[in-house]
Structure 1
Amino acid sequence: MSKDTNEIARLLSRHALAVCQTYLPNGRKTGNHWILGNLSGDKGRSMHVRLQGPDYGPGAAGKWADRATGQHGDLLDIIAAANGGISFPETLDEARRFLSLPRPNPPPPALSFPPSEHAAKAMRLFRSSKDIHGTHAERYLRSRAITASLQYAALRFHPNCYYREDDDEPLQAFPALLAAITDLSGTLTGINRTWLDPATPSLASILDPRRAMGRMLGHGVRFGVARDVLIAGEGLETMLSIRSLLPWIPAVSALTADHLALLRLPLSLRRLYVALDNDPAGAMAWAALSRTARAQGTAAFPLIPALDDWNGDLRHLGFAASRDLALSQLHPDDIAPALSPLNRSARGQQSPIPERGAT
Structure 2
Amino acid sequence: MAISARDIARELADRAEAVCRQYLSNGRRQGGYWMVGNVRNEPGRSMFVRLADGPKGPAGKWTDAATGEHGDLIDVIQQARGVNGFTDAMAEARRFLSLPDTVPPDVSRRAKISKAKAGVSDSLRSALHLFAMARPIEGTLAATYLRGRGIVADAPSTTLRFHPECYYRPDSKNPTERWPAMLAAVTDNRRNITGIHRTWLQRDGSDKAPLATPRRAMGHLLGNGVRFGSVNEIMAVGEGIETMLSIRTALPDLPVTACLSAAHLAAFDPPASIRRLYIAHDRDAAGLHARDRLASRLSDSPIEIISLSPRRHDFNDDLCMLGLAGTRDALQTQLAAEDAERLIANTL
Q: Which TM-score tier does this pair reach, normalised by the shorter chain?
A: 0.7 to 0.9
Task: Tell me the distance in 2 between the aligned counterparts of 1:84 and 1:295.
Answer: 36
Within a 5 Å distance, the mapping from 1:319-334 to structure 2 comes to 319-334=324-339
Q: Is residue 214 of structure 2 the alignment partner of residue 202 of structure 1?
A: no
Alignment match, 1:356: none
From 228, 232, 246, the counterpart of 1:223:
228
From 164, 177, 183, the counterpart of 1:178:
183
Alignment match, 1:236: 241
Task: Tell me the distance in 2 between the aligned counterparts of 1:293 and 1:179.
Answer: 26
Aligned-residue Cα RMSD (Å) equals 4.0
Alignment match, 1:348: none
From 142, 146, 159, the counterpart of 1:154:
159
Within a 5 Å distance, the mapping from 1:63-142 to structure 2 comes to 75=74, 99-101=97-99, 110=108, 112=111, 114=115, 116-142=121-147
CA separation of 1:280 and 1:117: change in aligned 2, threshold 3 A = same
Contact 1:16 1:62 in 2 (8 A): no
Alignment match, 1:263: 268
Deviation sequence 1:32-81 (CA, Å, 0-9, x none): 46629xxxxxxx9xxxx99874489968548799x99x9977639959x9
TM-score for the superposition, normalised by structure 1: 0.74
Contact 2:184 2:196 in 1 (8 A): yes
CA separation of 1:108 and 1:197: change in aligned 2, threshold 3 A = same
Q: Secondary structure, in 3 states, of the residue corresponding to 2:312? A: coil
* 5+ residue gaps, structure 2: 28-35
CA separation of 1:277 and 1:176: change in aligned 2, threshold 3 A = same
CA separation of 1:71 and 1:317: change in aligned 2, threshold 3 A = closer
Structure 2: which amino acid aligns with 1:234? E
Task: Tell me the distance in 1 between the aligned counterparts of 2:202 and 2:290.
Answer: 31
TM-score for the superposition, normalised by structure 2: 0.76
Alignment match, 2:255: 250
From 260, 273, 282, the counterpart of 2:278:
273
Q: Secondary structure, in 3 states, of the residue corresponding to 1:227? A: coil
Deviation sequence 1:213-269 (CA, Å, 0-9, x none): 222222211112323211011111100001111121211101111221122222332
Alignment match, 2:9: 9
Structure 1: which amino acid aligns with 2:289? M
From 275, 278, 287, the counterpart of 2:292:
287
Structure 2: which amino acid aligns with 1:344? T
Contact 1:119 1:189 in 2 (8 A): yes
Deviation sequence 1:284-343 (CA, Å, 0-9, x none): 111111112223221111111111111111111111111011011011221232354xx2
Alignment match, 2:148: 143
Task: Tell me the distance in 1 between the aligned counterparts of 2:323 and 2:129.
Answer: 38
Contact 1:129 1:157 in 2 (8 A): yes
Structure 2: which amino acid aligns with 1:269? I
Deviation sequence 1:142-184 (CA, Å, 0-9, x none): 1111121122511000001111222211221111111111222
Alignment match, 2:32: none
Structure 2: which amino acid aligns with 1:119? L
Deviation sequence 1:12-45 (CA, Å, 0-9, x none): 453646986xxxxxxx854346629xxxxxxx9x
Within a 5 Å distance, the mapping from 1:38-53 to structure 2 comes to 53=51
Deviation sequence 1:335-355 (CA, Å, 0-9, x none): 232354xx234xxxxxxxxxx
Structure 1: which amino acid aligns with 2:133? S
Alignment match, 1:354: none
Deviation sequence 1:99-158 (CA, Å, 0-9, x none): 444689996663647554222211111111011111110011011111211225110000
Contact 1:218 1:263 in 2 (8 A): yes
Identity %: 38
Task: Tell me the distance in 2 between the aligned counterparts of 1:58 and 1:136.
Answer: 48
Structure 1: which amino acid aligns with 2:180? P
* 5+ residue gaps, structure 1: 21-27, 37-43, 346-359
Alignment match, 1:344: 347
